Chain A
Amino acid sequence: MQDFRTEELAGWGRYPRCPGPVARPRHAEAVGALIGAGGVIARGNGRAYGDSAMGAAATLDLRRLNRMLSFDDQAGRLVAEAGVLLGDVIATFLPRGWFPWVTPGTKFVTLGGAIAADVHGKNHHRDGAFGTFVDWIDVMGADGEVVRASRDENSELFAWTLGGMGLTGVILRAAIRLRPVESGWIAQTTIPAQNLAEAMDAFEAADDASYSVAWIDCLASGAALGRSLVMTGEHVQADDLPPDRRTHPYRTPRKRQLSMPFDAPTAALNRFSVGAFNALYWRRGLRAPRKALVDWDSYFYPLDAILGWNRIYGRRGFVQFQCALPLNASEAGLRALLSETAVAGQGSILAVLKRFGPQQSRFSFPMAGYTLALDFPANARTLALLDRLDAIAADHGGRFYLAKDARLSAATLHRADPRAAAFRAMRRETGCDRAFASAQSERLLL
């Protein structure tokens, strides 16, 4: 076990935190020797919020498996090791006219992590989740054998691994497709919505927009419940850029990189400061021009501009609630969730609403309907609130995003998501349950 060293581990939310043995293999071949002990989980760049990438017994940090292996510049297909960062893919290929088909709200995720969580982006309603553009994956199973899985070959393993949270094996390599783009710019349209019904109408009207997402003021109540700024976006073609940008369409201004040098005091975010922020942000959204030209980094990754933004929630960390609701129960479910949040006064700054398209993979999070994500500082009151939100979501046929979860109960998960039992049965049958386990999978009985 000399390859393992004990380190303090946490997800992006920095809750929970606990020490555990970590190994950092340099080659895919070295991974086999590390899974023998059982109860291991692969970890990427640590952007899952909770305990998804904290091994039950040990953790494999795969960030050193970060080599790009081949690129087909006709099909836009990249073959790369699992530890390659999405940001490196963009840095390498945007200047050559390619962009990831699907990106989450941070570019600091690894490809392996993106596949394991089957992450979604602002275009899920149109293009589906990350897995849609994965052609194949190489997965190391419980026996240490590496298997190539795709829609045609080992298709069961492929289907379970997209969204399988690393619990079906260690993703070592993947072939992903990129989309051709003519520039590094996005034409953004902001649509203010005075309440939830207006916001949902705006999403339905924007069904053909490439990208859509809404910031939602989760402290607004009464008639203003669910007031939002719905933002849509389109990749800008080179000819549509202002003349001064046309010569170098992929070049965008270098952003200033800020960082959060210390933990904010735990009390910095409270109902008054969050309320004031949300009111300001809403008014600013109303005044801002409806249409704007935004560079890719600011559009997709506004929070990446502040390294370590997770520290604004203080040293105790934060938790996120994210659920997906089926379309027919979305309005009622969202109304109930927002009312509960507003009443509790535990509002969050980063509240996001998004329309989803249909589920594609076996155990992935998205379903046709709406998803709501809310951040809260981790404390007894917010944890109690999250339990109430869980119950509301489950009552409305909703399900939960494991990549964001740090504290859901097994009972709630299995009540809300019958797929979890099938997932667990598959793991038992294949022997994956002993080989691969995270703190999260133990907590949720996956």
Chain B
Amino acid sequence: MTDTVLVLGGRSDIGRAVAHRFAAAGHPVALAARNAPDLEADRADIAIRHDVEATLHEFDALDTDALGDFVDAFDPVPGIVVSAIGAMGDQTTSETDPAAAAQVMRINYEAPAQVLELFAARMAARGGGTLVGISSVAGDRGRAVNYVYGSAKAGFTAYLSGLRNRLWGTGVHVVTVKPGFVETRMTEGMDLPGALTARPEAVAETIFQAVARGRSVVYVKPVWRAIMIIIGAIPEPIFRRTRIGS
């Protein structure tokens, strides 16, 4: 199995870790990001360490009109497409600045959903492929501290779920990944609980295994599945009084 793996959001720590993990198993990898030439050192590193082909692709997830051409440029369509697109944004700014909120909603929901949809159509036409969407546990329940980001992730999670069901029987599989806290540039400076925090390499390993085994929804640290079941079950009047909710 040496399908090409396209990583959308290839600059992110998780994106690069995913590229390394698949390359280590012999997959050629393609990294797509804005200002792609900046990633030459990462590209070379992947190619040298794993002795695979690695390429860079200019990609602006928010340039909706250009998405079609971007996707068409991949011929044949990659066997595996991973979306590591996303950004936390700043909750307080989002509350007062609608444009900033729109940006967070677009980058976490609209953009990854649209580009995966385009790849889905081409994969279905070919009769096979795997789409991986990196969503978040933040989408499982709205919290006061990050609900703009969380709501967009909730939208993306629902989108992936629907896409998976629509593609049932076409040979195209959709994996939803819900990392909890991950040690990345996005969370740098935040005080994260060690036991609940994963390294990007662990996220990559989870994704690699999920693709290999055809899993549908995966959490990176299994404890998160339990945590989110409990958090999801707390009645709203109580949730709003807890430290988690507020």
Q: Is the CB of B41 within 8 A of A92?
A: no
Q: Is the CB of B185 within 8 A of A67?
A: no
Known contacts A88-B49, A92-B49; is-contact A70 B185 (Cβ 8 Å): no
Specify which chain B residues have a CB less than 8 angstroms from the CB of A71 in the assembled complex. 48
Specify which chain A residues have a CB less than 8 angstroms from the CB of B45 in the assembled complex. 66-69
Convert B31-74 into 0s and 1s, putting 1 for each residue whose CB lies closer than 8 angstroms to a CB of A: 00000000001101100110100000000000000000000000
| Nearest chain B CB to A235 CB, angstrom units | 23
Chain B interface main SS type: helix
Q: How far is the CA of A67 from the CA of B185 in the complex (A)?
A: 17
Instruction: For the complex, count residues of A whose C-beta is within 8 A of B.
Output: 13
B51 to chain A: closest residue by CB: A96
For residue A297, CB closer than 8 A to chain B, the reply is no
For residue B189, CB closer than 8 A to chain A, the reply is yes
Q: Is the CB of B44 within 8 A of A68?
A: yes
| Nearest chain B CB to A398 CB, angstrom units | 41
Contact of A68 among B48, B185, B189 (CB under 8 A): B48
Known contacts A2-B189, A5-B189; is-contact A69 B41 (Cβ 8 Å): yes
| Nearest chain B CB to A172 CB, angstrom units | 11
Specify which chain B residues have a CB less than 8 angstroms from the CB of A92 in the assembled complex. 48-49
Within B117-139, the residues touching A (CB, 8 Å) are none
Q: Is the CB of A67 within 8 A of B189?
A: no
Convert A59-100 into 0s and 1s, putting 1 for each residue whose CB lies closer than 8 angstroms to a CB of B: 000000011111100000000010000001000100010000
For residue A246, CB closer than 8 A to chain B, the reply is no
Specify which chain A residues have a CB less than 8 angstroms from the CB of B51 in the assembled complex. 96
Q: Is the CB of A70 within 8 A of B189?
A: no
Q: How far is the CA of A81 from the CA of B48 in the complex (A)?
A: 13
For residue A248, CB closer than 8 A to chain B, the reply is no
| Nearest chain A CB to B109 CB, angstrom units | 27
Q: How far is the CA of A277 from the CA of B51 in the complex (A)?
A: 45
For residue A251, CB closer than 8 A to chain B, the reply is no
A26 to chain B: closest residue by CB: B185
Known contacts A2-B189, A5-B189, A81-B41; is-contact A70 B48 (Cβ 8 Å): yes
Q: How far is the CA of A81 from the CA of B41 in the complex (A)?
A: 9
Convert A86-122 into 0s and 1s, putting 1 for each residue whose CB lies closer than 8 angstroms to a CB of B: 0010001000100000000000000000000000000
Q: How far is the CA of A70 from the CA of B45 in the complex (A)?
A: 8
Convert A377-390 into 0s and 1s, putting 1 for each residue whose CB lies closer than 8 angstroms to a CB of B: 00000000000000
Q: How far is the CA of A69 from the CA of B41 in the complex (A)?
A: 6
Q: How far is the CA of A140 from the CA of B213 in the complex (A)?
A: 47
Q: How far is the CA of A67 from the CA of B51 in the complex (A)?
A: 14
Specify which chain A residues have a CB less than 8 angstroms from the CB of B42 in the assembled complex. 67
Specify which chain A residues have a CB less than 8 angstroms from the CB of B44 in the assembled complex. 67-70
Q: How far is the CA of A26 from the CA of B13 in the complex (A)?
A: 10
B48 to chain A: closest residue by CB: A68
Q: How far is the CA of A70 from the CA of B44 in the complex (A)?
A: 7
Specify which chain B residues have a CB less than 8 angstroms from the CB of A69 in the assembled complex. 41, 44-45, 48
Q: How far is the CA of A423 from the CA of B48 in the complex (A)?
A: 37
Convert B180-194 into 0s and 1s, putting 1 for each residue whose CB lies closer than 8 angstroms to a CB of A: 000001000100000
Q: How far is the CA of A377 from the CA of B195 in the complex (A)?
A: 32
Specify which chain B residues have a CB less than 8 angstroms from the CB of A5 in the assembled complex. 189
Q: How far is the CA of A88 from the CA of B48 in the complex (A)?
A: 11
Residue from A2, A66, A67 having most chain B Cβ neighbours under 10 A: A67
Q: How far is the CA of A2 from the CA of B190 in the complex (A)?
A: 12
Convert A136-170 into 0s and 1s, putting 1 for each residue whose CB lies closer than 8 angstroms to a CB of B: 00000000000000000000000000000000000
Residue from B44, B48, B51 having most chain A Cβ neighbours under 10 A: B48
Q: How far is the CA of A429 from the CA of B48 in the complex (A)?
A: 40
Q: How far is the CA of A71 from the CA of B45 in the complex (A)?
A: 10
Specify which chain A residues have a CB less than 8 angstroms from the CB of B49 in the assembled complex. 68, 88, 92
B50 to chain A: closest residue by CB: A92
Specify which chain B residues have a CB less than 8 angstroms from the CB of A2 in the assembled complex. 189
Q: How far is the CA of A26 from the CA of B41 in the complex (A)?
A: 11
| Nearest chain A CB to B11 CB, angstrom units | 10
| Nearest chain B CB to A62 CB, angstrom units | 14
Specify which chain A residues have a CB less than 8 angstroms from the CB of B41 in the assembled complex. 67, 69, 81
Q: How far is the CA of A67 from the CA of B19 in the complex (A)?
A: 13
| Nearest chain A CB to B197 CB, angstrom units | 15
Specify which chain B residues have a CB less than 8 angstroms from the CB of A67 in the assembled complex. 41-42, 44-45
Write 15 A-B pairs (CB below 8 A) sorted by A numbering. Answer: A5-B189, A66-B45, A67-B41, A67-B44, A67-B45, A68-B45, A68-B48, A68-B49, A69-B45, A69-B48, A70-B44, A70-B48, A71-B48, A92-B49, A96-B51
Q: Which 4 A-B pairs have the closest CB atoms?
A: A67-B45, A68-B48, A67-B41, A68-B45
